[in-house]
Structures are given as structure tokens and as C-alpha cells.
Structure 1
């Protein structure tokens, strides 16, 4: 990997990914809402900013996302859902990444291996859902998994060596999760970033369209 584009580069995981890739000698271009105005909930901003980006890149990582939007905590039950909270979750965690992936074919290298990775979450797995709750966040992450799968199929038609995957980073100790860690084991962002990049470096085109965790193990859809 020689050149990478990181979306959400100012976030806890995003910053760590930028640092880890830079330490490995990769030329990194990072974009974020706070640094560049790349607000994934604003289609015009996404088109304007990504339209100015010039590739090709060997990797594009979408590390942005939100567990809470506008102060709405994850629901404990389907009885607690509101339409606005669901719409907000989809805007950030599904529609936003999809707007980025619209640009993937143009920005990815065509003549060599190239990876697109979107951070998802294990709770977005339908097959692994045994607890219920967190309805809006789960649904938005399940949606982004479908978006990734569809993008992988389409990219493979023109980018024969492309790899497009969803990645579960594990529970990472960031501002994103601090209210919800409880007794759950977590890892610092730097460790999570190294794990994710190790998984990415081990992927081949045969893995495209799949969902993996931080250890490289497949996660059920």
C-alpha cells in the first residue's frame, strides 16, 4: 500500500489509522468534517469535497460513524424507537458511507490491488443478534453492510483486483463509546488501528464483499 484516503480522519479511530499508516510509510490523505467540512450528512458537501480529490488510491477507509446522534441514545427496546432517531442513524451510518462509495470507482487504483473498507459493527449482524435493542444503530449498520456488498459486486466489474469489505473494529475506547463501555473489554485506538490495517493487508480479491472483525474472522451477515 502506497497511498490511502481516510474519511473521518479527525475521529478517535480515524486519527489512529492515519498515524499507523503514516508510520508504515503510506502517504495518507485524511478528510473530516471538523478539518475539511466533509459532513457525510450533507450530500452537497460530500460531492464538492470528494469531487476535488485526485487518486488513484490503494486504499480508502471510511472510519466515520456515530452511536448517538443529536443526543438520542441507543434504544433498549423496539418500543423506544422514534422516527427521527432512526432517520438520523441512517443518515450518518449508512447514507453517508454510501455517498463516499459513489466515488470509489474513480478514486481507486485499477491496475493493482486496491481496498475499500467501511467500519461497521458486529451489532449490525442480523445473524449474530441475540440480545435485541439498539434498533436504529443495528439497522443502520446492517444497511451499510448491504451497501458495501453491493459496491463490491459493482467494483469487481471494472476493478478486477479490488476488495470492498465491512470491518468490525472491536470495542475501542474513544469518546464514541465511553458511555457504553461498562464491563466490556476495550482496546485503545492505536491498537485497534493496527489490528484493522493488519486485516486489510491480509485481504485478497476473493474476500471482497465480506464482513470481517478486527482479528480477520468472518462475521455473519
Structure 2
């Protein structure tokens, strides 16, 4: 007699009651499995918003400054886009501001493969960077002809809002509608960006954030220094 039958005998459980007990346990298992395996895909955008709005562990400013510069040096030296993928957050992805015509457009992508699929002409921009020897200092000004200074510069920011502004332009100029979740994700991503980098040799602006001790690229602005009509 196995252990279960011994327990039945000990507590006087009848065969009739055992039958109903077995059915109850079977139904409970089915319900439990169903609830666990039923993924609510509609919540994915909300989960991204929550992740973007979460705060990263605070680091000492001087430590974070030195750490970021080292990360940026490595970032600029990547030999191909395979290494660049390490700087794209697997859940948040990143935003690109590009200019297919007279108006710049802000779009969100989950990874480089999605970029190459929808905007294949942008692929060369992610292969290699010309900028090097980053300097912590004021971002250079640009008058559509020359920069006020040449090189690679980065600075701390606490008021970044380029993504949200870009989406507003999308809606007003090209009449592209964005969902409430998309707008909130853009807003929270803006607030998360703490470092802005400008590469004058590449006519490029990049926004970074630190999440759980690792730096990620959230913003890739190809349109900021493009004055073509």
C-alpha cells in the first residue's frame, strides 16, 4: 500500500470521496496552468513604460563621470555593429531621429535588425564611428555650415526632451498618431537619458542612460545637424 492509500485509510477517506477529490485536483491543475501560460501581450507597452520610468541605482557623480568616459571610448572604438548591439537595451530598444525629406521623423526600434529591415539606407551609420578622444564639456553649436568646435564631446543632462518633442512634430506635421503608451514611453525615456554625446566628425548626437550599472544607447539623432531641405 502506498503512502497516499495509507493516508486515506488513516483518515477514513471513502472511495466515493476519493473520486471527487481526484476530479477537484485535476480541475485545479488545469486552471492553474491556463492562468500561467496565458500571456497578456497588450501589457507589453505598459511594461516598457514602467521599466523606463524606474530609477537606476544612484552612483557618485565623479565615479559615474569617469566610468562613462571609459565606456564611451570603448563605444566609439567598436569595429562593427555586432558590438554595438551590446549597447541597446533588450526591453527598451532605442529611438532614431532621421530625415527622409524636409521633415525629421522620430521612430522607435527594438534592435538594429529592425532598423535595417525598415531603413536599410541607415545601416552604414551603425557600422563604425569616426569620433574619438571624447571630452567632457559643452556641446558645440552648429550653424548649418560649421561647428563652433570640432571633436567628440559629452555632457550631463537632466532635462532631455528631444524624443517627446519629435513625437509631437510627427503628429502635427506628418499626422502620425501615437498611442498613450508610446507617448508615455517617449517621455520616460527622455527623463532617463543622463548623458548626451556629439560627434562632429559624424554629424551625430547620441543619448545614453545607466540601467542597473550598465550604459545603454537610447537616442540616435541623425537629423540634428542635417539642414538640407
* TM-score of the superposed pair, with normalisation by structure 1: 0.23
> Which of these two proteins has the greater Rg computed from alpha carbons?
2
